[in-house]
Amino acid sequence: MVNVTITRTKTGDDNNIGTPAPASASLLNQIGIPAADENSNSNEQVEPQVQQNIDSLLITASAVRQIHQLALLKRPHDPSQAYLRVYVDAGGCSGFQYKFEIGYLDIVSDGSDGSSEEMDMDMIDPEEDIVINASLSLNENEKDDEDTTKVKVVIDETSLEYLKGSKVDFVRELIKSSFAIVENPQSESACGCGSSFAVKNFGANPALD
């Protein structure tokens, strides 16, 4: 056992006692107290990094997870057939509004004879649409296979001009949970509902048809 003696040094003003210097790490180790790591924070949660092929519109980890869950629900046998379409439409209380829809690469429709047939129809327009492939990067806390966390986000070129630099997020709130556009640098103001916004320099960015 190591005895530690704390000695009080008398100064000119005996009532003015300074804060003692912190014990060194070696001394704390001798008496069985582990030294704290100043660079570590046990309560800090690191958000998984999202990998994507295009960074004009960022997809958050929360959005990737929700798209993946919806894809598994709507297309359990092949989740890769589902994607999230993001676009801007005229309307709303601020002039423009964010829209989100789940689309499918495989479309099922009723045939003329009343039976259901699988139609090989790609609803993504290669000339106007931009496909963002996003996935959560693997780390020690992620247990899903990389393939199961890949999702697609589709946006047309016109809408991207109004959303460039923004983030697609999935926000969970007490009242509702929904997809949302956050941190939009093209937005001058936004409605309290979060789904409508006004565009900066509107004269240079005419309204959508």
Q: How far apart are CA 67 and CA 87, in angstroms?
A: 16
Cα four-point dihedral sign 69, 72, 75, 78: positive
In this predicted structure, the answer to whether residue 43 has a pLDDT above a threshold of 60 is no
pLDDT tens digits, 163-175: 999 999 999 988 8
Exposure string for 41-50, b = 16+ CB within 10 A, e = fewer: eeeeeeebeb
141: left (phi over 0), alpha (psi -120 to 50) or beta: alpha
Q: How far apart are CA 62 and CA 69, in angstroms?
A: 11
Most confidently modeled of 59-68, 145-154, 195-204?
59-68
Q: How far apart are CA 85 and CA 103, in angstroms?
A: 7
Instruction: Give me the pLDDT at residue 110, please.
Output: 47
In this prediction, residues 22-48 reach a mean pLDDT of 56
Q: Are strands 167-172 and 58-59 parallel, antiparallel or unpaired?
A: parallel
Give the number of residues written for the chain: 209
